[in-house]
Each structure stands twice: as structure tokens, then as C-alpha cells.
Amino acid sequence: MFDAILIEKDEDERRVALGQVEFGALDEGDVAVDVAWSTLNYKDALAITGSSPVVRSFPMVPGIDFAGIVTESRHAEYKPGDRVVLNGWGVGEKHWGGLSKRAQVKGDWLVPLPDGISMRQAMAIGTAGYTAMLCVIALEEAGLTPDMGEVVVTGASGGVGSVATTLLAAKGYRVAAVTGRLNEAGYLKDLGAASIVNRAELSDAARPLNKERWAGAVDVAGGMVLANVLSMMKYRGVVAACGLAASMDLPTSVAPFILRGITLRGVDSVMCPKPERIAAWGRLATDLDMRKLESMVAEVPMKDVIETAPRFLKGDVRGRVIVPVSPDLS
């Protein structure tokens, strides 16, 4: 038996609780991992609260991230004792996830944890930080350089936004951090933001084109926020879009694309191919200031995860939330 958060549902009710699960209940997979650290993300909050049908099969262990130590392996790339990290692949949605002391997954979903990153730091980064790195790489691949102008980051006080702000600032980009919580301005400036933008400025109906402001953008919001960002991009600007925290809709026009030649790059972290994952984690090991990462982190014990989840849906979470599952393994 091992501890896990379990979501159950039958015809009459939906239940979420921290309890004991039998080893035999684990999903099939060729690698077994003792989980040291996990995280709490927006998607996990949706799963735990049932606010969105993220989970469609029951019972389910939530947790789209985990870092831990391989205990058994039938996969050629892994052996007992290896440190590994997992992000996405439907884990915590379709397959039992990381808010559990034990996981059993496909080895192809795992990434060897780079030297220089502890398992705790791996989860401080988590899917949010790994997604932020994918966004930065997308901007670079599109040809964006610091001398081209300011880069705007929406949802800057959240997990993706906090890490993106830190990574971009460290590379010499001037970052405009968008937030609806102006009391977080000091926190964002400490991460490297050069200016703070009130989210309200980007919340009204977007004109097809507005005054050019930004050379690049990382957007986690979608909806009207992204529509406004697109309308304010400089000629040949590039936007990396990775989220829908505001809306799945995109009420815009073709004007920014055909009159300013801007690029909209979609960034998916869930099914991202393994070579790109390894590259992103390698960059995080060298590019991310771990002292600034620590300033983003709040720890929540397993027993408090369920009551913490609704705070994400209220927009009341700053930076990253990590969960010590078996921290003595670290």
C-alpha cells in the first residue's frame, strides 16, 4: 500500500481524498518510480475540484508532474537508481499521476534529470517552467533577439509567466510583465521584469490593429488578452501561445498577420516530442537562476493539496506550488 490522492466517481457522487492505494492498482508501464516531489498546477486544480472535465476515467490519481527515483525498469534507457522527471503525456488525466508515493509509467515519457537540478528544483520548475522554456525556444527559433524590442509576458505572476520572465530577463530581453495583481509588481521586478502592465489594459475588445508595442510575447491567457497582444505586436513580431487561463476563444482578425507579418507560434508541452523535452530541460539546467526560482516557490504538504486546489481557480496563486511526497528520497 502507498499514499496517494485519489479521485473517484460513481453515479451518485464524486469523491477526492488522500488515502492508501494498493500497488496492484497502478497503471501498466515499463518503469516504476518512487516519487520524491510533485506539484500542484492549474490543470491539477481543475481535476481535483471537478471544475472542468480534465479527468474522464475513474479512479484517477491527479498530478501532471513528478520527479523521483526509478525502482524497477524494463526499459532500455533506465535502471534502478536513476533520477527522472515527468511532465504531461496525459498523466494525471488519463493515466495515474504524480500526487502519489509510487508511479508506474512508460519509460518513453520520462526524461533523465540533468545534473545540477535537484528533484525539488525539478518540481519547482515543473510543467510550468518547462513550458516557459519551450516558449523561449520558440521565440528564439523565430529569430527574436533582445535588440528587437520589449517582450510581453501575460499571466506573469503565475508559474509559466514567472519562469518566462526570469529566463527572458537573464538573456537580456526587456520584459513587460502583465498581471491583474498589481501588488505583485515588486515580485515581478525582482524576477527581472522591466515594466508592469495592468491586465485591465488588455481586457477590453481588441481593435484589429493598435499602436505597435512589443517585439515578442509569451501568452498564457488566450481570449481578449491574446487578441490585444496580437494587435500591439511590432512588425514581424512573434508570439508564443501556450495557455487559455482567460479563454479558449480568440476574438481577433487577420490584420496583424497580413499587415504586420507577425507570427503566432503554438506551444504544447503535453505531447511534445522527447528530444525537445530533453533540450528544454538541458537549457533550464544552464539558463535558469535557481535563486530566483526559489523565490517563486511555496510548499504544500500532501494533506493540504485538496483544500489548496481551489485557490488556482480564483487566481490566488503566485509562482509555483510544490508538494513533498517522499522528500527524504532527494
Q: Encode pLDDT of 191-233 as tens digits.
A: 999 999 999 999 999 999 999 999 999 999 999 999 999 999 9
Decide: 7 and 15 in contact? Cβ < 8 Å: yes
User: Is 278 a domain residue?
Assistant: no
In percent, the amount of the chain with pLDDT more than 90 equals 88
In percent, the amount of the chain with pLDDT more than 70 equals 100
Q: Could you list the beta-strand ranges (E) of 111-204.
A: 111-112, 151-153, 175-179, 195-198
Residue 263 pLDDT > 80:
yes
CA distance 262 to 260: 6
Mean pLDDT score across all residues of the chain:
95
Task: Tell me what the mean pLDDT of segment 60-87 comes to.
Answer: 97
User: Is 119 a domain residue?
Assistant: no
pLDDT digits (tens, 9 = 90+) for 17-42: 999 888 878 888 999 999 999 999 98
Q: Please give the tally of structural domains in the chain.
A: 2
| Exposure of 330 in the CB half-sphere (CA atoms within 13 A) | 20
User: Is 231 a domain residue?
Assistant: yes
Task: Tell me what the mean pLDDT of segment 289-301 comes to.
Answer: 95
Q: Which CATH number is 202's domain given?
A: 3.40.50.720
User: Is 120 a domain residue?
Assistant: no
Residue 238 pLDDT > 90:
yes
According to the model, what pLDDT value does residue 134 have? 98
According to the model, what pLDDT value does residue 37 have? 98
One domain for residues 258 and 175: yes
According to the model, what pLDDT value does residue 163 have? 97
One domain for residues 21 and 109: yes
According to the model, what pLDDT value does residue 239 have? 98
According to the model, what pLDDT value does residue 281 have? 97
One domain for residues 183 and 303: no
Q: Which CATH number is 309's domain given?
A: 3.90.180.10
User: Is 282 a domain residue?
Assistant: no
**Local confidence band at 1 (pLDDT 50, 70, 90 cut-offs):** confident
One domain for residues 214 and 315: no
| Count of beta carbons in the 10 Å neighbourhood of residue 215 | 24
**Local confidence band at 145 (pLDDT 50, 70, 90 cut-offs):** very high
144: Cβ contacts below 8 Å, ≥ 6 apart: 151, 215, 216, 238
One domain for residues 184 and 105: no
User: Is 41 a domain residue?
Assistant: yes
Q: Which of the two residues, 69 and 312, has the higher pLDDT score? A: 69
One domain for residues 230 and 160: yes
- Domain with 60, as residue range(s), is 2-113+296-329
One domain for residues 259 and 310: no
One domain for residues 188 and 163: yes
Decide: 64 and 98 in contact? Cβ < 8 Å: yes
According to the model, what pLDDT value does residue 313 have? 85
One domain for residues 323 and 223: no
pLDDT digits (tens, 9 = 90+) for 158-189: 999 999 999 999 999 999 999 999 999 999 99
One domain for residues 37 and 150: no
CA distance 221 to 243: 5
One domain for residues 241 and 134: yes
User: Is 54 a domain residue?
Assistant: yes
CA distance 113 to 219: 27
One domain for residues 259 and 144: yes
User: Is 204 a domain residue?
Assistant: yes
pLDDT digits (tens, 9 = 90+) for 151-162: 999 999 999 999
Residue 56 pLDDT > 90:
no
Task: Tell me what the mean pLDDT of segment 316-330 comes to.
Answer: 91
